[in-house]
Structure 1
Amino acid sequence: MQSILVLTDFSDAAFKAAQYAAMLSKVCKSKRLILFHAYQTIPVVVNEPVVAAGRESLHEESLQSMEIWQESVRQFTDPSTSISFFVNDIDLAEGTNALCKEASIDLVVMGITGKSNLEKILIGSNAVRLIADIQYPLLIVPKNTPDRMPAKVVLTTDLKEVKEKISSSSIFKFLDAIQAKLLVVNVARKDKDVSHLRTEIMDLHSLLDRYTPEIHYINHPDTIEAIDEFAQHHQAGIVITFHEQQNRPAALFHKSVSKKLAWHSRLPLLVIPL
């Protein structure tokens, strides 16, 4: 992971994510850490000078905050890692995708907090919306995440199209970089015959056996609760899940596992887009 992008709204939760990203950059020997703040001004009256003045003021304030952030984050990174920043008047998802493409970003990192219902709505909704719209791996870091690299990571699988999902994703780059113990978990809502899943299970082993994973099959009525409990019980540091991109109208009404995990997980969540 040579290039990591950190999204910030200058909150405490965002700074925690930046610290975590800096720690990752050290372990992965990343060459670049980029900070990005996207704001979007909505003019009330077209061609009014006050609108332009307000936009310029907001941009200048954002630049000043970014300069402070850049110096604060620098103390957590390796001296060989360059730190730069971008500030733009643009939609967050649109700006993130554009910058990722332009800068060849390997991983996007953002913070999330569940301290209060209001914070969860304001900050958490950004994370959930990005899951639907972003086209690059997204690591969502809760505010209370420990300042240490994970010794174990949990990969969730529904045992559907395993080969297509895993082989076409960037998960190998991440697993190779962090060198953590891999735990794979499949959650079924009731006991069922899995003989028809033999091909999927064989694909799972053929793709991941080089990491000597532990593979677990769990029966539980609530998939999200089961994954969270499993990760906590095994003292995992990151949960990895996949998210299938959909058209915008469908995404608004679709409650995917990845979105639900973003709301409820107490651990960093890595979302791999498909």
Structure 2
Amino acid sequence: MKKILLLTDFSEAAHKALQYARSFFSDTVADFHLLCAYPVEPDGFYSPKHVAETVHAAFVSQLRDVVKELHQQTNVDWHTFRSSAKPGKLIDIVREALDEEAYDLVVIGGKKDGTNELFGNSATQLIRQLNINVLVVPVDTDSKPIRSVVLAVDFANLKSCKLLCPVKEIVSLKGATLTLLTIDTPQKKSIRVEQEVRIRQFLAPIEPTVAHLQSPDARKGIDDYLAGHPVDLLITIPKHKGLADILTGNSVTRSLAYMPPVPMLTLYDDGSSDKPRLIEDLSNLDYAL
């Protein structure tokens, strides 16, 4: 069973994310936990305790109505829904939830709720600070079958193929096509043949298509590809999370997550490395990522 932590503030973006998540896991046993993090502002007339209790009751009531409606709408018996509301900052509340329970994925609606790309928004903050996979759903996304999946990462620096387990699972379950998108930028490290083979062996029996583009920077290359090809899901592995990377604009995933052009899944990299596999025959490998 998949355990999905779905963040909501009752906005249109949150509603779209909920509908998309239900469609995404329509063929999977899943437990959806709707979590609402809300601020409590002081009131000059009522006591802080009264304000806190009143606000909490209001959010809990809204969540119960949403869950009740979901139970009435669903026509499958392998989806369960529950909810909770807690006061505080979103990142703190989500961390508490992840400490209390193991989840497979955090889902958030993508909307421009930050000052600008440099300062980021809720989605960029979660991706940068959480040790879990995050799915960002654009507010204009329509729920539809996943037919085309694009994996855009720096394959030369991929230390652990185990990070690609969710990719294999999604592509296999959805019967989708998989494209390995690699962007050649100035001074980019070239991928070695052993790494190419290792990635393909891990993804087998899936046979991905390779898209090889040249561009002055990775973000422009990805945008150019998305502009010319139908893509249902973009998958990335964030690498540049430090403050210096943010200030210098090196974090490609951050810029994409701020206003994602398509639904985007970011895979958490814990920095581990798997052992290279022995290859006996390289004679038929004349392709490159």
TM-score, normalized by length of structure 2? 0.80
Residue in structure 1 matched with residue 67 of structure 2 by the alignment? 70
Residue in structure 2 matched with residue 20 of structure 1 by the alignment? 20
Q: Deviations over 1:20-61 (max 9, x none)?
A: 11112212x22311111112436699xx96222221121111
Q: Secondary structure at the match of 2:109?
A: strand
The CA RMSD over aligned residues, in Å, is 2.9
Q: Secondary structure at the match of 1:210?
A: coil
- Cα offset, 1:187, TM superposition: 0.7
CA distance in 2, matches of 1:2, 1:187: 33
Aligned partner letter, 1:31? A
Aligned partner letter, 1:262? A
Does the CA contact (< 8 Å) of 1:19 and 1:73 recur in 2?
A: no
Structure 1 unmatched ranges of 5 or more: none
Note if 1:148 corresponds to 2:144.
yes
- Cα offset, 1:143, TM superposition: 1.1
Identity %: 23
- Cα offset, 1:226, TM superposition: 1.9
2:98 aligns with one of 100, 103, 113: 100
Does the CA contact (< 8 Å) of 2:138 and 2:259 recur in 1?
A: no
Q: Deviations over 1:129-152 (max 9, x none)?
A: 111111111100001112202201
Does the CA contact (< 8 Å) of 2:43 and 2:51 recur in 1?
A: no
Residue in structure 1 matched with residue 30 of structure 2 by the alignment? 31
Residue in structure 2 matched with residue 185 of structure 1 by the alignment? 181
Distance 1:134 1:254, change over 3 A: farther
Distance 1:258 1:76, change over 3 A: farther
Does the CA contact (< 8 Å) of 1:26 and 1:77 recur in 2?
A: no
1:60 aligns with one of 49, 57, 60: 57
Does the CA contact (< 8 Å) of 1:13 and 1:112 recur in 2?
A: yes
- Cα offset, 1:193, TM superposition: 8.1
Does the CA contact (< 8 Å) of 1:23 and 1:76 recur in 2?
A: no
Distance 1:138 1:61, change over 3 A: same
Residue in structure 2 matched with residue 139 of structure 1 by the alignment? 135
Aligned partner letter, 1:24? F
Distance 1:41 1:130, change over 3 A: same
Structure 2 unmatched ranges of 5 or more: 270-289
Residue in structure 2 matched with residue 215 of structure 1 by the alignment? 210
- Cα offset, 1:271, TM superposition: 0.8
Note if 1:111 corresponds to 2:109.
yes
CA distance in 2, matches of 1:176, 1:101: 30
TM-score, normalized by length of structure 1? 0.84
**More helix as a share of residues:** 1
Higher Rg:
2
Aligned partner letter, 1:149? P
